[in-house]
Structure 1
Amino acid sequence: MSEQILVLDPTGSDPDAEHQALRERGPATLVDILGVRAWSVSDPVLLKQLLTSKDVSKDGRAHWPAFAETAPVWPLALWISVRNMFTAYGGDHRRLRRMIAPAFSSRRITALGPAIEQIITALLDDLDALPTGEVVDLRERLAYPVPIAVICQIMGVPQEQRAGFRGVVDRVFETTLTTDQAVANSGALYKALDALIEAKRAAPGDDMTSLLIAARDDEGDGTGLTHEQLRDTLVLMISAGYETTVNAIDWGLVALLSDPDQLGHLRAGRADWDDIVEETLRHQPAVKHLPLRYALTDIPLPNGQNIRKGNAILASYAAANRHLDWHEDADRFDATRPSKEHLAFGHGVHFCLGAPLARLEVATALRLFFERFPDVELTARYDELERLPSLISNGHTTVPVHLRPITTR
């Protein structure tokens, strides 16, 4: 008898248990993700093979027979229907990535360092002014504002538009929306992007939006990005550069606040901030599952099953990162573990271009925060922290703390 398909919980109520269940079913297993059947791959070796295989595509229009009937009604349609390098395949992907890469050059990222420190220092100054004893939500007061300020600065988003972008991007990662709600949110997102593009066409600046508007492919036909590709590339940049970094800062804070030994390793020199960032990304990656990829041919699995041509594939990064064949005692956060290899930024040709920026933001936010507030304490137990209601986004609804010890007479 065939194994029952595992229905992924759209509310993400107990993701660690769900990821364990995926691993127990073997290297890959059939799952239901909001009504779509896909192969969830949780074995890191197999996943890396598929992520680098020419027999696996991210272009659903070309390589997923169910695309036409699924995209109009699936709540996660935006994840498969955007026209940018996220869903591109082969030469089209290489062309788009080559046009976008200059926005994330080492020179540009390095130049952002002082601005990132300035953004974080201003936020910490505001926190420092709060009265002792007040419960502070660090997700809202630190993890959120840092990435949104950085990505909006990179993209040239005016201050008055930033709150609106946050609202619509948050809902891109929600997996409890109805189809109608998701469609409405996508419409609001595109409306905001059209306004940004129009403003930058009228008054270009030294920002990524202006750079992409002016982009030309020197090795192609010289037409640059279409308007649809431009909008969808900005969708990718906002989503990848915002929500994911929020979650990484969130989990870095929680890991250190819930396990004093990790701060001890830092203070004793047994680990540094880069170690903390990499172990955070391994232990709790910002994205749990990433929809979707598609098999271009039948792909045999180690357990004798086959991913058939045209089947959808779900990269289950969080489950793979904690696979016991990859990391010893994988469920434990340990900043001193020798190898912290992970798939939090993907693998292969679709590896995240913004990874160096994300690492810089997370390390800087954590370092400056704990330097300013060395005695900070969680006001809830680790197991009381509520997880985000999403099967994609991996974070908490709040991270409540006391910034300083409460003294009593």
Structure 2
Amino acid sequence: MDQPYAPPYALDATGSDIHAEGAALRARGRAAWVKLPGDVCPVHAWAVTDPVLLKQLLADPRVSKDAARHWPDFADGRITRDWPMLIWVAVRNMFTAYGADHTRLRRLIAPAFTARRTKAMRPRVEAITEALLDDMARVGPDEVVDVRDRFAYQVPIQVICELMGVAESLAPRFRARVNGIFDTTLTAEEAEENGKAMYALLAELAESKRKEPDDDLTSFLIATRDEEHGTALDEQELLDTLLLMISAGHETTVNLLDQALFHLLTRPDQLAHVRAGRATWSDAAEETLRAEPSVPYLPLRYPVEDLDLGDGLVFRRNEPILAAFAAAGRHPSWHGEDADVFDVTRTDKSHLAFGYGTHLCLGMSLARLEAEIALPAFFDRFPQAELAADVPGQEIAKVSSFVSNGHTRLPVRLGRAAH
């Protein structure tokens, strides 16, 4: 895996300051040659920060997500189990599929995320939200509550567990394993052990639904077949699809709610804009997705052939591509010199937080629905809420990951509940 590009920018596995890192990468041009976390099996890639180029590549049929077919280092066994991010590229689901395989897998899953089905989820999302707010309202007004753990996390995990048919007893175990998948500071051994435990859980879920199918997405995925070809998901595709649905289906929305709450609590002027009607709650969610995408970097894509991108920039066939969503969302060429500023009144809040092209996130409407319900409900119930004074905002620790953009906790003094 010798490369002619030196020196590569070593990405911070902890994701301690993704925006400073994004600025450093943008300074290197439209794309920067980087080293991904993991020292035993070093992996280099092009981190694309320019939004125009990134959108072009995300929609380019010459760019694949199938490592087995289009990443020679992986296909030839040079990417070994010593790489802690192996699960991100080795799974077999629509996240890593290409061409006809991707079309088949997406067609099997898409019916579960139609606009009608998403709309039908509204009453349950509202009920879950209200129950969580009722629970927090029992806390004394001067006590500090971890709102990430008790609200930003609980809304999405309860929604996805209901959608997938995950028993309440399994939810905490899934949470621990999903946290491990997004924790890019794990050693290769820790990541491998976490992956084995996750697949054991997924197999347990699938087996329970085979025995007792219900009106949930897991049962749907087991039973559904591609009408055109008469094929269903094979066992590995099923488990990997469940992994995708459960992990991406809640972790990203947790971070969306976490970051939106954090910015509105630490920027009273922005909250005032929404409360006064100068901006909507949807504006707050979209500005959060632009300025603080839940997934700052998304591994990986692969050129099917050498790509000459002009101005001397060439991506060779064995050089993976890393989508740098956080850096792109704050690119001055897209959002001006104030792109680093969180502003709910910003006219153009365009972003790539849900991807682009054929791999556009199927669950984005559900994530938006959850934010549209949870954010106003929280601030209506706790109009005096403030970030705990003894924990300045800038000192709140981030999750240990360069692919997940959230806080380890969000300590909030709720004040007196409105009702």
Same fold, judged at TM 0.5 (above): yes
Alpha-carbon offset, residue 382 of structure 1: 2.4
1:342 equivalenced with 2:345 (yes/no):
no
1:78 equivalenced with 2:87 (yes/no):
yes
1:381 equivalenced with 2:392 (yes/no):
yes
CA contact (8 A) 2:382 2:416 kept: no
Distance 1:145 1:94 in 2: 32
Alpha-carbon offset, residue 108 of structure 1: 1.1
The partner residue of 1:31 within 27, 31, 34 is: 34
Q: Counterparts in 2 of 1:273-312, with a 5 A limit? A: 273-312=281-320
CA contact (8 A) 2:287 2:344 kept: yes
Alpha-carbon offset, residue 2 of structure 1: 6.0
**Which structure 1 segments of 5+ residues have no match?**
none
CA contact (8 A) 2:5 2:33 kept: no
1:44 equivalenced with 2:51 (yes/no):
yes
Q: Which amino acid aligns with 2:250?
A: Y
1:196 equivalenced with 2:199 (yes/no):
no
Match of 1:397 in 2: 408
Distance 2:5 2:240 in 1: 40
Alpha-carbon offset, residue 72 of structure 1: 2.0
Distance 1:24 1:388 in 2: 25
Cα offsets for 1:200-222 (capped at 9, x unmatched): 011111100000001111111x1
Match of 2:232 in 1: 224
1:15 equivalenced with 2:43 (yes/no):
no
Alpha-carbon offset, residue 41 of structure 1: 0.3
Distance 2:289 2:78 in 1: 35
Q: Counterparts in 2 of 1:316-331, with a 5 A limit? A: 316-328=324-336, 329-331=338-340
CA contact (8 A) 1:373 1:404 kept: yes
3-state SS in 2 of match to 1:31:
strand
Distance 1:77 1:54 in 2: 24
Match of 1:57 in 2: 64
Distance 2:96 2:257 in 1: 27
3-state SS in 2 of match to 1:291:
strand
Alpha-carbon offset, residue 383 of structure 1: 1.3
Q: Which amino acid aligns with 1:395?
A: G
CA contact (8 A) 1:27 1:302 kept: no
Distance 1:230 1:308 in 2: 33
Give the share of equivalent positions with the same residue, in percent.
54
Distance 1:127 1:397 in 2: 19
CA RMSD of aligned residues (A): 1.3
Alpha-carbon offset, residue 405 of structure 1: 6.9
Cα offsets for 1:221-259 (capped at 9, x unmatched): x12110100000000101111111100000000110011
Alpha-carbon offset, residue 365 of structure 1: 1.0
Cα offsets for 1:66-86 (capped at 9, x unmatched): 112214221011100000000
Cα offsets for 1:67-112 (capped at 9, x unmatched): 1221422101110000000000001100100000011111111111
Q: TM-score when scaled to structure 2?
A: 0.95
Cα offsets for 1:139-165 (capped at 9, x unmatched): 111011111100000000111111111
The partner residue of 2:379 within 347, 370, 377 is: 370
Instruction: Give the count of matched residue pairs.
Output: 405
Q: Counterparts in 2 of 1:201-216, with a 5 A limit? A: 201-216=210-225
The partner residue of 1:100 within 104, 109, 119 is: 109
> Stretches of 4+ moved more than 6 A in 1?
none
Distance 2:143 2:416 in 1: 11
Alpha-carbon offset, residue 132 of structure 1: 2.1
CA contact (8 A) 1:148 1:242 kept: yes
CA contact (8 A) 2:210 2:222 kept: yes
CA contact (8 A) 1:298 1:308 kept: yes
1:313 equivalenced with 2:321 (yes/no):
yes
Distance 1:346 1:2 in 2: 27
1:148 equivalenced with 2:157 (yes/no):
yes
**Which structure 2 segments of 5+ residues have no match?**
none
Change over 3 Å in CA distance of 1:4–1:332 after alignment to 2: same
The partner residue of 1:161 within 141, 160, 170 is: 170
Cα offsets for 1:117-152 (capped at 9, x unmatched): 111111100110001211111111101111110000
3-state SS in 2 of match to 1:136:
strand
3-state SS in 2 of match to 1:69:
coil
